[in-house]
């Protein structure tokens, strides 16, 4: 069968989709670029924000005429499926399949059943790590996510992930290392270890720092990284590993979420702004080349203008390379939805969102300006989408660099930076 696969959301969804894509192709199925050309249309949906859900619902609903004309099978997969369950069949009559993250290995057989006449299949299961064993390492991507933790055991007031993916389950280290080695042998140049709280990884006392040290013994991988970290689970030992080997990324995604201690307490983040800043300072002391990224939520219930301004001050003080900034949206059955009134007006959320984005843009430009005149090491990703004559890649601390010069994907080149914008550095290969 021909299938169309569309993915939204975090690295977990992208990896889940990559594994399913490999399984389907191994069965002889053909992936196509448009739902107009396929027998099966599958959508991985993200449940973190209401807007993202509504967008994917709208897209799926627009396939109604194609479904009637081509007898199209339509499936919604991922966290949204796990949370909404059978309600999705009522909301989107076009759906034939709803499958949560813990049941993805059953999707290929379910599609065959649907092709043979089955109706409205609901697949739910507990999140586990066995799905990762289905990965096709013989078609290794240039940059590969490797899951080390499924689910999350934290209880942030705004977050649906623990309900959607369950409590944290760590993969055995030998399983992770075996996958990294297989990817390396098949040409992968970059490995990024992922988990909702990846730095909390602990398997019988074996920590993320231990896993990275052992992964660094595997030859062939040019760069190692990890995302995403909770501010209370990173530590000096992890930073020391980052600083110990030139193949380790010098980039740390460390979501702050707010610059107000009161809001952080309501969010159940379990740290104060002072503690967050101490962690940032420790990381930068041990890893001098480090670049930091963060997340912020604006308009969390009861957030005042003064508390919003505290978030702006935190961005200015930390000078993050980038921040992912979201307007608060109430998520069903989260602690925030159950206990707090969503009382910040939509217009106010929008204003705060725009202002915080502007503050972050100023911080991003400051970080980029430090590169002008510097020669930076870049892992080449390929040709720049805007200019096929130029190439693009990222530095070891995650600066995007567009440059002129001869290179091929997977090369490591030295680029002299000549000018910058808040998002991109531009330069020329010197070596």
For each of the domains in the chain, give its residue range(s) and CATH number, in order of start.
2-123 (3.40.50.12160), 130-366 (3.80.30.20), 375-429 (2.40.50.140)
Residues 347 and 353: beta-carbon distance below 8 Å: no
175: left (phi over 0), alpha (psi -120 to 50) or beta: alpha
- Residue 368's H or E segment, with its range, is helix 346-369
Q: Which residues contact 303 (CB under 8 A, 6 or more apart)?
A: 258, 260, 263, 328, 344
pLDDT band at 138 (very low <50, low <70, confident <90, very high): confident
What pLDDT is stored for residue 148 in this prediction? Answer: 97
CA–CA separation, 411 and 425 (whole Å): 18
What pLDDT is stored for residue 136 in this prediction? Answer: 87
Give helix 236-244 / helix 208-215 axis angle, nearest 10°. Answer: 10
124: how many CB neighbours lie within 10 A of its CB? 15
The position carrying tokens 């109706």 is 119
Residue 388, pLDDT > 80, answer: no
3-state secondary structure of 9: coil
Q: What is the pLDDT of residues 231-241, one digit of tens each?
A: 999 999 999 99
Residues 208 and 199: beta-carbon distance below 8 Å: yes
Q: What is the pLDDT of residues 205-232, one digit of tens each?
A: 999 999 999 999 999 999 999 999 999 9
Q: What is the pLDDT of residues 156-190, one digit of tens each?
A: 999 999 988 999 999 999 999 999 999 999 999 99
68: how many CB neighbours lie within 10 A of its CB? 10
What pLDDT is stored for residue 50 in this prediction? Answer: 80
Task: Read off the tokens for 357.
Answer: 């984005």
What pLDDT is stored for residue 140 in this prediction? Answer: 74
Mean pLDDT of 248-255: 98
What pLDDT is stored for residue 405 in this prediction? Answer: 85
What pLDDT is stored for residue 160 in this prediction? Answer: 92
CA–CA separation, 216 and 179 (whole Å): 13
Residue 11 Cα distances to 192, 356, 431, angstroms: 10, 24, 33
- pTM for this prediction: 0.94
Q: What is the DSSP string of 116-154?
A: TT---EEE-----SGGGGG--GGG--SEEEEESEES---
Q: What is the mean pLDDT of the chain?
A: 95
What pLDDT is stored for residue 229 in this prediction? Answer: 98
DSSP state letter for 316 = H
What pLDDT is stored for residue 127 in this prediction? Answer: 66
Residue 361, pLDDT > 80, answer: yes
Percent pLDDT > 90 in the chain is 87
Q: What is the pLDDT of residues 399-429, one digit of tens each?
A: 999 998 889 999 999 999 999 999 999 999 9
What pLDDT is stored for residue 326 in this prediction? Answer: 96
Beta strands in 220-321 (DSSP E): 223-227, 251-253, 291-298
CA–CA separation, 263 and 359 (whole Å): 20
- Residue 402's H or E segment, with its range, is strand 400-404
């Amino acid at each position: 069968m021909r299938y169309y696969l569309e993915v939204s959301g975090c690295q977990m969804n992208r990896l889940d989709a990559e594994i399913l894509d490999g399984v389907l192709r191994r069965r002889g199925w053909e992936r196509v670029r448009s739902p107009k050309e396929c027998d099966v249309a599958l959508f991985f949906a993200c449940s973190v924000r209401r807007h993202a859900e509504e967008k994917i619902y709208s897209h799926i609903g627009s396939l109604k005429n194609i479904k009637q004309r081509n007898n199209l099978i339509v499936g919604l997969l991922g966290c949204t499926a796990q949370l909404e369950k059978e309600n999705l069949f009522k909301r989107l009559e076009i759906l034939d399949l709803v499958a949560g993250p813990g049941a993805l290995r059953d999707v290929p057989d379910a599609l065959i059943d649907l092709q043979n006449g089955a109706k409205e299949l609901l697949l739910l299961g507990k999140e586990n790590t066995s799905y990762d064993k289905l990965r096709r390492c013989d078609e290794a991507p240039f940059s590969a996510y490797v899951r080390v933790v499924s689910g999350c055991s934290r209880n942030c007031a705004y977050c649906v992930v623990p309900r959607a993916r369950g409590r944290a389950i760590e993969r055995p280290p030998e399983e992770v290392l075996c996958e990294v080695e297989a990817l390396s042998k098949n040409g992968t140049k970059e490995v990024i270890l992922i988990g909702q709280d990846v730095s909390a990884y602990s398997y019988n006392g074996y920590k993320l720092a231990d896993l990275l040290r052992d992964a660094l013994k595997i030859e062939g991988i040019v760069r190692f990284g990890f995302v995403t970290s909770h501010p209370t689970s990173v530590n000096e030992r992890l930073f020391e590993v980052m600083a110990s080997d030139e193949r380790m990324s010098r980039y740390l995604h460390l979501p702050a979420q707010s610059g107000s201690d009161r809001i952080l307490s309501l969010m159940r983040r379990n740290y104060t702004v002072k503690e967050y800043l101490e962690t940032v300072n420790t990381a930068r002391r041990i890893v001098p080349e480090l670049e930091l990224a963060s997340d912020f939520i604006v308009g969390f219930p009861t957030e005042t203008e003064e508390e919003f301004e505290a978030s702006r001050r935190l961005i200015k003080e930390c000078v993050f390379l980038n921040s992912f900034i979201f307007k608060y949206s109430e998520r069903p059955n989260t602690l925030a939805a159950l206990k707090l009134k969503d009382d910040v007006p939509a217009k106010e959320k929008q204003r705060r969102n725009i202002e915080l984005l502007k503050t972050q843009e100023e911080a991003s430009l400051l970080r980029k300006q430090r590169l002008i005149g510097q020669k930076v090491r870049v892992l080449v990703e390929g040709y720049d989408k805007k200019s096929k004559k130029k190439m693009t890649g990222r530095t070891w601390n995650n600066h995007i660099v567009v440059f002129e010069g001869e290179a091929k994907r997977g090369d490591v080149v030295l680029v002299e930076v000549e000018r910058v914008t808040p998002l991109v550095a531009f330069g020329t290969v010197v070596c």
